[in-house]
């Protein structure tokens, strides 16, 4: 499969033309050394791909003529949202990157009782995670630019997660319901995955999650690290949702 160079652009075509500017222009012109006549894919980050031909290459503007536009072909069938408790050190960088590769649409970081990392200022962290999401989305060819939201409380995360058609609470102490059984009736169009920190969930948090309407599910008999669990959970949901 020939993977054409791919760029996210914020604007829509004007008179059949899209222009790469700033970092995009530098990457196209100086790094990839693209020339007029070559093909590129420009993506609006909201599910539409524009197949283009480069018309002109300047230092800070690469003009692309739109030849065709179509829905991006690289998105999962379901809209996946990961609700992730703040882990220690820079594990969230890794989790964000892997979740984007695995097709997540939104990431909602939250603070729960057992989160060891409790930064009072998280704006800069969220900005960094959003940059990591952009790079990962470019690398794997996403059609949507996933959004990393501001940090919320556990309660807010659980209540938001419960809005999805398939709302999964990955609980390390769950012994009855495995993910396989929980998804035996299929996967809804919107899926929430709620994952805890290194210290897991406090009993009252587990009760709140279930009362909020989340389904408590197990990822098996072993305890996965907080950076392994979202990867395993996302891969299993993708499989169950017919994406693999």
Among 172, 188, 202, 243, binds ligand SAM (CB under 6 A): 172
- Tell me if 229 contacts ligand SAM by CB under 6 A: yes
- Tell me if 171 contacts ligand SAM by CB under 6 A: yes
Instruction: Using the minimum distance from each CB to ligand SAM, give the nearer residue, 75 or 198.
Output: 198
Site for ligand SAM in 91-130 (CB under 6 A): none
- Tell me if 216 contacts ligand SAM by CB under 6 A: no
C-beta nearest to ligand SAM: residue: 196
Q: CB 92 → ligand SAM: shortest distance, Å?
A: 13
Among 16, 71, 119, 220, binds ligand SAM (CB under 6 A): 220
- Tell me if 170 contacts ligand SAM by CB under 6 A: yes
| Window of 14-22, 68-76, 204-212, 214-222 that interacts with ligand SAM by CB under 6 A | 214-222
Mapped to the 3 state alphabet, what secondary structure does the chain carry?
A: CCCCCEEECCCCCECCEEEEEHHHHHHHHHHCCCCCCCEEEEECCECEEEEEEEEEEECCEEEEEEEEEEECCCCCCCEEEEEEECCCCCHHHHHHHHHHHCCEEEEEEEECCCCCCCCCCCHHHHHHHHHHHHHHHHHHCCCECCEECCCEEHHHHHHHHCCCCEEEEECCCCCCCEHHHHCCCCCCCEEEEEECCCCCCCHHHHHHHHHCCCEEEECCCCCCCCCCHHHHHHHHHHHHCCCC
Cβ atoms within 10 Å, residue 38: 16
- Tell me if 195 contacts ligand SAM by CB under 6 A: yes
- Tell me if 218 contacts ligand SAM by CB under 6 A: yes
CA distances from 72 to 76, 134, 135, 201, 204 (A): 10, 16, 17, 37, 42
- Tell me if 178 contacts ligand SAM by CB under 6 A: no
- Tell me if 18 contacts ligand SAM by CB under 6 A: no
| Window of 102-110, 118-126, 154-162, 216-224 that interacts with ligand SAM by CB under 6 A | 216-224
Q: CB 44 → ligand SAM: shortest distance, Å?
A: 34
Q: CB 47 → ligand SAM: shortest distance, Å?
A: 29
What are the residues binding ligand SAM (CB under 6 A)? 170-172, 174, 195-196, 198-201, 218-220, 222-226, 229
């Amino acid at each position: 499969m020939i993977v054409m160079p791919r760029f996210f652009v914020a604007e829509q075509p004007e008179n059949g033309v899209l222009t790469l500017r700033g970092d995009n222009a530098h990457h196209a012109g100086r790094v990839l050394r693209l020339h007029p006549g070559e093909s590129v894919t420009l993506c609006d980050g909201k599910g539409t791909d524009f197949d283009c031909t480069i018309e002109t290459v300047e230092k800070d503007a690469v003009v692309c003529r739109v030849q065709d536009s179509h829905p991006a072909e690289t998105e999962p069938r379901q809209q996946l949202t990961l609700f992730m408790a703040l882990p220690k050190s820079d594990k969230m960088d890794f989790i964000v990157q892997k979740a984007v590769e695995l097709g997540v649409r939104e990431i909602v970081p939250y603070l729960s009782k057992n989160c060891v990392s409790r930064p009072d200022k998280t704006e800069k962290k969220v900005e960094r995670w959003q940059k990591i999401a952009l790079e990962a989305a470019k690398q794997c060819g996403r059609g949507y630019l996933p959004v990393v939201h501001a940090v919320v409380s556990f309660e807010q995360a659980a209540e938001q997660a419960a809005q999805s058609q398939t709302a999964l609470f990955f609980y390390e102490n769950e012994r009855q319901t495995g993910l396989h059984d929980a998804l035996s009736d299929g996967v809804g169009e919107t899926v929430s995955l709620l994952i805890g920190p290194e210290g897991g969930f406090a009993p009252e948090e587990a009760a709140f999650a279930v009362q909020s309407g989340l389904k408590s599910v197990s990822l098996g008999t072993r305890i996965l690290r907080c950076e392994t669990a979202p990867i395993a959970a996302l891969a299993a949901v993708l499989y169950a949702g017919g994406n693999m």
